[in-house]
Amino acid sequence: MANQQYLAECLDKFYDLPDIVILEFNHPRHLQAIDDLNNKYGLELSFLVILVAIGELTPEDMPEYLAKRYDLPDEIAQDLAQQLNELYFQPIIKRLAFFNQDSNKTKPSPEEEKNIIIDLFKENLLVEIKNYEQVISAVNQRIFAWLDRDPSAQQQIENAFLQNQEIITEQAITINNEELPGTTANWLHCFAVEKGTDSLNSLSVSEFLGLSKNTNELSAEDKKIIRALLNIYRNIKFFPESMPSDDGTDWAIIPLPEKELSLDEQFTTKINDDEDDIQTEQLIDPEMQSVKVMPESALPIDPATANKINQLKLMLGRYGVDSLEGQAILEEITKLRGN
């Protein structure tokens, strides 16, 4: 069991990492890999991930750590460490390498970076539209870097965008009396047929979303995503004329969130969005966020242990239950309660 002070020190070190690093470690698509391994092996691996992230534990030492902490056979510990590396750490490492703006970096190569951007526009744009501001900004910087060094980049990105088959709406689209699935490519085509791409501006987008028969039954969230897609298409198709200035100020291919939120606020927003699905208990400190109710142990808890649990609950209020840090704290609370 991690010493409470050591746990707090590790969490502080984790929060001292750059925002972009913390956000990637906490991104749902990465955390899903941790959840899957937790369920597969019946373990809680969040604290191990934090130790690796802050350099307290090396990837090479993970098998030994897993064997000792969870009393696992060496073979199983080795297999689990390998899966952690392949399914969680390596994707994050590659993602952060992509964000690196150093012009002298060797990984990824310019060709690899080009392929990442093409894949993003062709198959993975939806997740980026909904991402955190720091992450969207980092992606935009890499797009601009490619546009700057390769005259053909603009056309390649547009072509990839027009092939995107990600499902945006469950509702089908009717184009020229043909019913089509609500994919990114089909929504772009729908706009082009009804409004024309030459008139792609804020007014025409608003008219399309408000007056098109295809958008009448859409939710506000669906319309928000379609608006973002159309704005992205305008930004890339008419680049650089589509940008708001001549000096690079406020440039973005993928639009940034309207309101700039700090990292803590972004995590808080995510937690508040999910609060209907989470049982909560109110902490004494009014500045702390509500946290998930932990099942109380049937065994009596001595006062010293109860005090430690209460302190961990306060820490949990700072980090939030859905974050990597929160899961590590929940793990310690569960162990203290003897569940």
pLDDT digits (tens, 9 = 90+) for 200-220: 888 999 999 999 999 999 999
In the chain, pLDDT over 70 holds for what percent of residues?
85
Residues 271 and 205 in one domain: no
Which of 196, 203, 197 minimizes the C-alpha distance to 233? 197
Give the single-character DSSP code of 248: S
Which of 194, 185, 234 minimizes the C-alpha distance to 214? 194
Residues 62 and 150 in one domain: no
**What is the distance between the alpha carbons of residues 176 and 159, in angstroms, rounded to a whole number?**
22
Which range is least confidently modeled, 15-19, 154-158, 160-164, 289-293? 289-293
Residues 53 and 125 in one domain: no
Is the confidence at residue 16, as pLDDT, over 60? Answer: yes
Residues 36 and 132 in one domain: no
The answer to whether position 89 is within a domain reads yes
Residues 24 and 85 in one domain: yes
The answer to whether position 251 is within a domain reads no
**What is the distance between the alpha carbons of residues 4 and 326, in angstroms, rounded to a whole number?**
14
Is the confidence at residue 277, as pLDDT, over 70? Answer: no
Residue 4 confidence class, pLDDT cut points 50, 70, 90: confident
Mean local confidence (pLDDT), 221-225: 95
The answer to whether position 104 is within a domain reads no
Provide the residue range defining the domain that includes 117: 110-237
Please indicate whether residue 299 or residue 10 has the higher confidence score (pLDDT): 10
Which of 275, 249, 26, 236 minimizes the C-alpha distance to 131? 26
Residues 84 and 137 in one domain: no
**What is the distance between the alpha carbons of residues 5 and 78, in angstroms, rounded to a whole number?**
29
Residues 115 and 229 in one domain: yes
Please indicate whether residue 137 or residue 279 has the higher confidence score (pLDDT): 137
Mean local confidence (pLDDT), 132-144: 95
Residues 79 and 59 in one domain: yes
**57 CB-near residues (< 8 Å, 6+ apart):** 48, 51, 65
Residue-wise DSSP of 61-121: GHHHHHHHHHT--HHHHHHHHHHHIIIIIHHHHHHHHHH---TT--SS-HHHHHHHHHHHH
Residues 211 and 130 in one domain: yes
Degrees to nearest 5, angle at CA 267 with 35 and 16: 90
Residues 126 and 211 in one domain: yes
The answer to whether position 133 is within a domain reads yes
- The pair of structure tokens assigned to 84 is 């952690």
Structural domains of the chain, count: 2
Which of 47, 3, 51 minimizes the C-alpha distance to 311? 3
Residues 135 and 224 in one domain: yes
